[in-house]
């Protein structure tokens, strides 16, 4: 079950959406710890969940849910090797940053402007440092990420 709440006037939370989908066995799907979640201006919700294979390997997944079509859950194998610590949408809601506890950052973009097709075209690594927060600069200037070893 997915119970999503939005802030309302007076600091209370209004229930914005509830959906239920098939139950997954605990042996294959487990919540990410910590859980990362982000809501875009396009009403797309990104959240993390880990997928455990039969041989106990974990795949860190990012799921994209369109609240207008909640039955179309799109899952992305993130290629993060450590727990995903944060997700952050850009101002247009068409790009998503993901970062993990090992310092890996990935930028996901909609392929052909479709909410069910995502690709990671760029990323960066801040080796050994966990990323605890991300933010977009919304001034239209391109941002290049570099670590000190690149200089």
Gap between the Cα atoms of 151 and 138, Å rounded: 26
Gap between the Cα atoms of 7 and 139, Å rounded: 26
Q: What is the pTM of this model?
A: 0.69
pLDDT score recorded for residue 128: 74
What contacts 140, CB < 8 A, 6 or more positions away? none
Question: Could you tell me the two tokens for 122?
Answer: 């760029």
3-state helix/strand/coil string of 28-58: CEEECCCCCEEECCCCEEEEEEEEECCCCCE
Average pLDDT of the residues of the chain: 75
Gap between the Cα atoms of 109 and 122, Å rounded: 9
User: What is residue 130's three-state secondary structure?
Assistant: coil
Q: 20 or 51: which carries more pLDDT confidence?
A: 51
Bridge-based pairing of strands 2-7 and 13-19 is antiparallel
- Which tens digit of pLDDT belongs to each residue from 24-78? 555 555 555 667 889 998 889 999 888 777 776 788 889 998 888 888 888 888 8
What is the residue whose two structure tokens read 């850009």? 90
Gap between the Cα atoms of 18 and 70, Å rounded: 9
Q: 59 or 11: which carries more pLDDT confidence?
A: 59
> Maximum Cα–Cα distance for the chain, whole Å?
50
User: Phi/psi at 111 (nearest 5 deg)?
Assistant: -85, 125
């Amino acid at each position: 079950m997915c119970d999503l709440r939005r802030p309302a006037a007076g600091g209370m939370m209004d229930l914005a959406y509830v959906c239920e989908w098939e139950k997954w066995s605990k042996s294959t799907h487990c919540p990410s710890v910590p859980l990362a979640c982000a809501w875009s201006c396009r009403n797309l919700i990104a959240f993390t969940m880990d997928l455990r294979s039969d041989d106990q390997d974990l795949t860190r997944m990012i799921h994209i849910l369109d609240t207008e079509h909640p039955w179309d859950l799109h899952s992305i194998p993130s290629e993060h090797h450590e727990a995903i610590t944060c997700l952050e949408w850009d101002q247009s809601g068409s790009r998503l940053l993901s970062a993990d506890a090992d310092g890996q950052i990935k930028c996901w973009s909609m392929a052909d402007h479709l909410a069910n097709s995502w690709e990671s075209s760029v990323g960066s690594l801040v080796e050994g440092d966990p990323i605890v927060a991300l933010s977009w600069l919304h001034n239209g200037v391109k941002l290049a990420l570099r670590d000190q070893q690149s200089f």
